[in-house]
Amino acid sequence: MTPEMTVGLLRDMLMTAFWLCAPLLLIAFGSGIVLSLVQIVTSIQDTAFSTIPRLIVFLAATVVLLPWMLTKCLNYTSGLFSNLAHYAR
C-alpha cells in the first residue's frame, strides 16, 4: 500500500464522516440561533425553553436523515470492502 493510497483512504473516511455530521450540525446550529433570538425577543430566561426544543429538533432531524446517513455509510463500507484486495497489495 502506497502512501498515496493511505492518504486517499483517510481522506475518503474523513469526508464521509464530515458529510454524515454536517446536516445535523447545521440543523442544530440553526435551531439554536432561532431559539436564542426568540428568547431575546420575548425575554424568556427559562433554560428548559431553550434545551427541550433544541433536543426535539435534533431528534426529528436525526429520524428524517437516518435513511440517507445509513445509505451513505453503506456505500462507503461496500466500496471499501469491494477494493480490499486492491488495498492489501
Give the three cell numbers for residue 26: 447545521
23-33 pLDDT tens trace: 999 999 999 99
Residue 14 is part of which domain span? 3-88
* pLDDT value, residue 55: 93
Residue 47 has pLDDT above 90, yes or no: no
pTM score: 0.79
C-alpha dihedral (38, 40, 58, 77), degrees to nearest 10: 120
**Contact (CB, 8 A) for 87 and 9:** yes
- Looking at the structure of the chain, the number of domains it has is 1
Per the prediction, the chain carries an average pLDDT of 91
* pLDDT value, residue 28: 93
57-76 pLDDT tens trace: 999 999 999 999 999 999 99
